[in-house]
């Protein structure tokens, strides 16, 4: 999946490594943001899927799992860290 220049810059500024972005896209839960994009993030179930895939690596990167990515039209448009719950609707 392509990352916009904005997403690349935000990923670097916010300390979200490309590995976490890739894991979010592969294993993260997705919610529509009601503006035409999807938010990918780790919740309990997606962490379980990740753990079954990566095993003990999850404990080593657990502090990085509070990240999220926003995807629109097949592109990652921004990256950030969650400070509050993502509301399911």
According to the model, what pLDDT value does residue 89 have?
A: 47
1-44 residue pLDDT tens = 799 999 999 999 999 999 999 999 999 999 998 889 999 999 99
pLDDT tens readout for residues 13-23: 999 999 999 99
Mean pLDDT of 56-84: 91
Q: Is the dihedral of CA 14, 16, 17, 21 positive or negative?
A: negative
Residue extents of the structural domains in the chain: 2-81
Q: Is the pTM of this model over 0.85?
A: yes
Confidence of residue 87 (pLDDT cuts 50, 70, 90): low
What phi and psi values does residue 16 have, to the nearest 5 degrees? -105, 105
């Amino acid at each position: 999946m392509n990352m916009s220049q904005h997403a690349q810059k935000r990923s670097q500024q916010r300390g979200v490594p490309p590995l976490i972005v890739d894991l979010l896209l592969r294993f993260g839960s997705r919610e529509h943001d009601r503006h035409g994009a999807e938010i990918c993030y780790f919740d309990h179930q997606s962490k379980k899927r990740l753990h079954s895939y990566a095993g003990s690596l999850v404990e080593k990167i657990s502090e990085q799992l509070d990240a999220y990515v926003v995807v629109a039209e097949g592109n990652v448009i921004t990256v950030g860290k969650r400070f509050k719950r993502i509301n399911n609707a």
